[in-house]
Structure 1
Amino acid sequence: MSVLLTGGTGMVGHNIKEHQNASNYCVLSPSRKELDLTNRDQIRSYLKANTPEYIIHAAGLVGGIHANIANPSKFLLENLEIGCNLISEAARIGVKNIINLGSSCMYPKNGPNPLKEEYLLNGLLEPTNEGYAIAKIAAQRLCDYLRIEDNSRNYITLMPCNLYGKYDNYNPKRSHLIASIIVKLHEAKINKDKSVEIWGDGSVRREFMYAKDFADAVWFALPRIKEMPHIINIGRGEDYSIFDYYKKISDILGFEGTFTFDLRKPTGMKQKLLDVKKINDLGWYPMHDLELGIKKTYAHYLDCHR
């Protein structure tokens, strides 16, 4: 069976392609030059020519808090366009199975933690990544509407917690938290800096999962797509403070300096922990704890920067 994977050059897409279960399928992973998701005609032609049984939609413009604050309109427009174009054209062509990848930032900023799937659209979004969140919500709702209109469509959305791991982006202007901390602490260690700055007071809490584990959840869901809830959280079910992540990564990297706090900088939601009971009840659990995942990620970072 053939699977169209969008976003195959990103961190999530790379890990999905490298997973051992990918060999059970014919995975189509076109580059942006081969398939421009902002172009409906190209999407329609590609789907007609390749007739995939499944689509895993992992493409998107992603970034950390720096990038989202700097370019909210770009994060809204690009992600809205590619998500709605792909999903609507797939429905028109007759593709019956779609795994759409959402994000924990789609949940209300003041939602009670752990965040349950039914909390979606029950409150205001976090302003620092609102544009991205609105676009991802639109794609999720479109999947719902199309499934309601035709119950032969198995269109589901997986809601991952924050991710890190192999193929992460280590550009400070676009990187997510774990990658950003690794770069900062590695450079501080090399330069023998005495301290490293943390945005905020380090008390906000985040849940992070190794990207390979999320890829495993995607391949777990795909053959079970007819029985899966239409929206389901994927995470570790535990979180840590930002300061905890700095301390853990400094221990692994061997950085022996201290930390300073810039209380003027934005920090985002106070907590963002997912309720993962539904996916656990189906029999899926992540394989990597935080220490193992960070060690593997740091090894990959060193390989990329030798």
Structure 2
Amino acid sequence: MGIKPKVLLTGGRGMVGRNILEHPLAEQFSFLAPTRSELDLRDFLRVRDYVAFHLPEYVIHTAGLVGGIQANMANPVNFLVENVDLGRNVILASRDVGVKNLLNLSSSCMYPRYASNPLTEDLILKGELEPTNEGYALAKIFATRLCEYLHKEDSSLKYKTLVPCNLFGRFDKFDPKHSHLIPAIIHKVHLAKVMQEKKVEIWGDGTARREFMYAGDLADFVLKAILNFDQIPHLMNVGQGFDYCINEYYQAVADVVGWNGLFIHDLTKPVGMQQKLVSIDLQRAWGWQAPTSLKEGITKSYNFYLKSTQ
């Protein structure tokens, strides 16, 4: 057996990183996935020394400060500054020591709030950002553009960016202070079932639409992209190609959890963008489609939630 390609994975303890490491294709690589105590990505010199010492063939940058609307609105400075620092340090350290292949995982939050859906890759910086997560979006735009500029200056640097739609799955954050939509719904509806509550509150009228993909599916795409790195575009959405409204996500979770109460709407709460559906034309041309259904993904996520709260 030949030597496995060495891959530095940042964010290896996060949801995306852990799904990558547990995927069957991960066995084809030799992964470095340092914890924060082992490598503080906010320290550029330490990051550069680490990359120089290990000299990975590929870098997959998934690390970041992430959270839902509540967390983004409460801590915009942290979401901007920390994510800018992480992206800058990982990308420039890789450049400085001669890593030629880097995959930067970004976010569909980069797209303008009023852009027409589905969102094509050329729409980035073509309009005003969604205010509820602007700091996070700006940081992701910075890292994406940095990858593009580095490749423009040196074509041997294949620094590419994937733009996933919203994600959920195993190893997610379920605390409402930090969670995204689906894990927050799982937590809320499960508690309603346990406490025998008859009503669950939904922010807004529930008509806003969102596209969610199971994180294990993104892991599948990322690893296949590394195996075929030269063939993927330098900027590419990864998503489902369809979406559901907020009310439908609540009902899907209720069906899996087994709660039969009533949903009520708080129209005073923020809901973010009315729709955020990414175009997957490039993804389709590449020949990949997410295999996990919404019900299957929610079931796996709920089972993980139950085990993690025992």
Name the TM-score, length of structure 1 as normaliser.
0.99
Question: 2:229, 2:38 → 1: CA distance?
Answer: 27
Structure 1 residue 228: Cα displacement: 1.4
Report the 3-state secondary structure (helix = DSSP H, G, I; strand = E; otherwise coil) of the residue aligned with 2:161: strand
Structure 1 residue 227: Cα displacement: 2.2
Question: Counterpart in 2 of 1:228?
Answer: 232
Q: Please provide the CA RMSD for this pair.
A: 0.7
Q: 1:40 aligns with which of 35, 44, 47?
A: 44
The answer to whether the Cα contact below 8 Å between 1:220 and 1:284 also exists between their aligned partners in 2 is no
Aligned pairs, how many? 306
Q: 1:237 aligns with which of 221, 238, 241?
A: 241
Structure 1 residue 260: Cα displacement: 1.0
Structure 1 residue 224: Cα displacement: 1.9
Q: Which amino acid aligns with 1:255?
A: W
Q: 2:170 aligns with which of 159, 166, 191?
A: 166
Question: Counterpart in 1 of 2:200?
Answer: 196
Q: Which amino acid aligns with 1:112?
A: S
Structure 1 residue 223: Cα displacement: 2.1
Question: Counterpart in 2 of 1:294?
Answer: 298
Question: 2:93, 2:54 → 1: CA distance?
Answer: 14
| Correspondence 1:129 to 2:133 | yes
Question: Counterpart in 1 of 2:6?
Answer: 2
| Correspondence 1:258 to 2:284 | no
Q: How does 1:95-110 map to 2 (within 5 A)?
A: 95-110=99-114
Report the 3-state secondary structure (helix = DSSP H, G, I; strand = E; otherwise coil) of the residue aligned with 1:148: helix
Q: Which amino acid aligns with 2:72?
A: N
Question: 2:38, 2:218 → 1: CA distance?
Answer: 26
Query: Any stretches of 5+ residues in structure 1 without a counterpart?
Result: none
The answer to whether the Cα contact below 8 Å between 1:157 and 1:232 also exists between their aligned partners in 2 is yes
Question: 2:78, 2:133 → 1: CA distance?
Answer: 11
Deviation beyond 3 Å, 4+ runs, structure 1: none
Structure 1 residue 280: Cα displacement: 1.4
The answer to whether the Cα contact below 8 Å between 1:197 and 1:259 also exists between their aligned partners in 2 is yes
Question: Counterpart in 2 of 1:269?
Answer: 273
Q: Which amino acid aligns with 1:138?
A: F
The answer to whether the Cα contact below 8 Å between 1:204 and 1:267 also exists between their aligned partners in 2 is yes
Question: 2:157, 2:24 → 1: CA distance?
Answer: 27
Q: How does 1:106-121 map to 2 (within 5 A)?
A: 106-121=110-125
Q: How does 1:83-94 map to 2 (within 5 A)?
A: 83-94=87-98
Q: 1:186 aligns with which of 186, 190, 198?
A: 190
Q: 2:86 aligns with which of 79, 82, 93?
A: 82
Question: 2:35, 2:304 → 1: CA distance?
Answer: 23
Name the TM-score, length of structure 2 as normaliser.
0.98
Question: 2:13, 2:237 → 1: CA distance?
Answer: 23
The answer to whether the Cα contact below 8 Å between 1:103 and 1:133 also exists between their aligned partners in 2 is yes
Question: 2:46, 2:293 → 1: CA distance?
Answer: 41
Query: Any stretches of 5+ residues in structure 2 without a counterpart?
Result: none
Structure 1 residue 68: Cα displacement: 0.3
Question: Counterpart in 2 of 1:142?
Answer: 146
